[in-house]
A = this chain, B = another copy of it.
């Protein structure tokens, strides 16, 4: 059985402990019928990586390989693969329940894979999949925004936490519609970044949002993308959102929600979880491959740009621990990529 290098963990430990994430050798994955085996060139890390690690309070018997975003080359194909060939350059965000991309090789269902953007280096393409899938599903599928709807000229989207990975992707995608984009950030570098991504207005999420929006001349907010804490912003959203508005959140809550407060305005609320399609193997799971392909084309056309801000070199436990430290600090602007 051919072997590969991977970085694993068995339980949450301080990142200063070199057993928190460690290098180990394991078998190369073997493909299921619709799987590609991809030789990975670059990955990026996401807050969900840190959350999954933090949630592992008891020791696993076998090391678990984390990691979602990846760019690489198709190395082997399952018997029923139809979309890709050995040697193709691909990118994907992977599955929540399969071994991840902190490894030299990974198995991934072809339906959630797309050709990597042709004009982007692997380190740039690796910043894209999870965040842009989340942003696309939120804005295009859940809010039903369209790239060609002139009615959006009169509408405003508020992105709470605009300078993180998903926020950066969402600002850019929203800019391809005609909607006005307000994003929140608080540090000088994150404010600067949100503007660079294309936000029309940047406001501070530590101060009253509605007051700041009024100061900016916004009449109200029709869409809210909540990327920080639904609980923390629930009352503010209740006040500032326009009737018939839509709220999408990707952040879990640990309290019940007084949903009745949103009835009079006939508000729509959508949970977004990028892994839902592959987790439940939905009939439309291949939409994720299609969305990633559309995003790749927009990147190649220069209409979207990668969000990589930090690049580490080499698949090492030390790099993974350092990357997780930055995730825990919650100070990243844009995305952190590890190039193998």
Given contacts A253-B259, A259-B256, A283-B154, contact A265 B276 (CB under 8 A): yes
Which residues of B lie under 8 Å from residue A147 when comparing CB positions?
A: none
Please state if B266 and A273 are interface contacts (CB–CB under 8 Å): yes
Which residues of the other chain, B, contact A257 by a CB distance below 8 angstroms?
Answer: 256-259
- Among residues of B, the one whose C-beta sits closest to the C-beta of A242 is B282
A272 proximal to B (CB < 8 A): yes
| 0 or 1 for each of A261-276: is its CB under 8 Å from B? (1 = yes) | 0111111111111001
Complex Cα distance, B142 from A270, in Å, reads 11
Question: Do A256 and B258 form a contact, CB below 8 Å, given A244-B276, A282-B243?
Answer: yes
Q: How many copies does the complex hold?
A: 2
The answer to whether B266 and A260 touch across the interface, beta carbons within 8 angstroms, is no
Interface residues in A17-69 by Cβ distance below 8 A to B read none
A253, A276, A277, most chain B CB atoms within 10 A: A276
Within the complex, which residue of B255, B258, B272 is in contact with A266, where a contact is CB–CB below 8 Å?
B272
Q: Which residues of A contact B (CB under 8 A)?
A: 137, 142, 144, 154, 242-244, 252-260, 262-273, 276-277, 279-280, 282-284
With CB as the reference atom, state the residue of chain B lying closest to A269: B269
Q: Give min CB distance, A56 to chain B, whole Å.
A: 18
Q: Give complex CA distance A140, B137 in Å.
A: 20
Q: How far is the CA of A268 from the CA of B270 in the complex (A)?
A: 4
Q: How far is the CA of A243 from the CA of B288 in the complex (A)?
A: 14
Contact, CB under 8 Å: B269 / A268: yes
Given A277-B243, A283-B154, A263 and B252 contact (CB-CB distance below 8 Å)? yes
Contacts of A242 in B (CB 8 A): 280, 282
Pairwise interchain contact B266-A271, C-beta atoms closer than 8 A: yes
Residues on B with C-beta less than 8 A from A254 are: 260
Say whether B276 contacts A243, CB under 8 Å: yes
Min distance, Cβ A12 to any Cβ of chain B, angstroms: 21
A252 to B271, CA, bound (A): 20
Check A268–B266 contact: CB distance below 8 A.
no
Q: A127 CB to closest chain B CB, in angstroms?
A: 23
Instruction: List 24 A-B residue pairs with CB atoms under 8 Å apart, sorted by A's residue number.
Output: A142-B268, A144-B144, A154-B283, A242-B282, A243-B277, A243-B279, A243-B280, A244-B282, A253-B259, A255-B256, A256-B257, A256-B259, A257-B257, A259-B269, A263-B271, A263-B273, A264-B273, A265-B276, A265-B280, A266-B270, A266-B276, A268-B268, A268-B270, A269-B269
Residue of B nearest to A247 (CB): B269
What is the bound-complex CA distance between A284 and B264, given in angstroms?
A: 16
Q: Is the CB of B252 within 8 A of A260?
A: yes
Query: Which chain B positions have C-beta within 8 A of A265?
Result: 271, 273, 276, 280
